[in-house]
Amino acid sequence: MKKIVNGLLLIAFAAGLAACNTVEGVGRDIERAGEKIQRSAQ
Protein backbone atom coordinates (compact mmCIF):
# COMPACT_ATOMS: atom_id res chain seq x y z
CA MET A 1 0.00 0.00 0.00
CA LYS A 2 2.79 2.44 0.88
CA LYS A 3 4.48 1.77 -2.46
CA ILE A 4 1.31 2.71 -4.31
CA VAL A 5 0.87 5.91 -2.29
CA ASN A 6 4.51 6.86 -2.73
CA GLY A 7 4.31 6.16 -6.46
CA LEU A 8 1.27 8.37 -6.83
CA LEU A 9 2.93 11.11 -4.81
CA LEU A 10 6.00 10.90 -7.01
CA ILE A 11 3.87 11.24 -10.15
CA ALA A 12 1.97 14.18 -8.66
CA PHE A 13 5.24 15.79 -7.58
CA ALA A 14 6.75 15.38 -11.05
CA ALA A 15 3.66 16.91 -12.67
CA GLY A 16 3.70 19.82 -10.24
CA LEU A 17 7.41 20.33 -10.73
CA ALA A 18 6.94 20.46 -14.49
CA ALA A 19 4.35 23.21 -13.98
CA CYS A 20 6.65 25.39 -11.84
CA ASN A 21 8.20 28.47 -13.37
CA THR A 22 10.11 29.85 -10.40
CA VAL A 23 12.51 28.60 -7.75
CA GLU A 24 10.03 29.69 -5.08
CA GLY A 25 7.33 27.55 -6.69
CA VAL A 26 9.67 24.55 -6.73
CA GLY A 27 10.40 25.05 -3.04
CA ARG A 28 6.70 25.12 -2.20
CA ASP A 29 6.07 21.96 -4.22
CA ILE A 30 8.94 20.12 -2.52
CA GLU A 31 7.64 21.19 0.88
CA ARG A 32 4.10 20.02 0.08
CA ALA A 33 5.36 16.69 -1.23
CA GLY A 34 7.40 16.18 1.95
CA GLU A 35 4.39 16.96 4.11
CA LYS A 36 2.24 14.46 2.19
CA ILE A 37 4.89 11.78 2.55
CA GLN A 38 5.09 12.43 6.30
CA ARG A 39 1.30 12.18 6.61
CA SER A 40 1.20 8.93 4.65
CA ALA A 41 3.94 7.47 6.86
CA GLN A 42 1.95 8.08 10.04
The percent of residues in the chain predicted with pLDDT above 90, rounded, is 0
Q: Are the CB atoms for 14 and 26 separated by under 8 Å?
A: no
- What mean pLDDT is reported for the chain? 80
Contact present, 7 and 36 (Cβ < 8 Å): no
- Other C-beta atoms closer than 10 Å to the C-beta of 5 total 14
Residue type, 24: E
User: For residues 17 and 25, is the Cβ–Cβ distance under 8 A?
Assistant: no
Full-model pTM:
0.44
- pLDDT level of residue 22 (50, 70, 90 thresholds): low
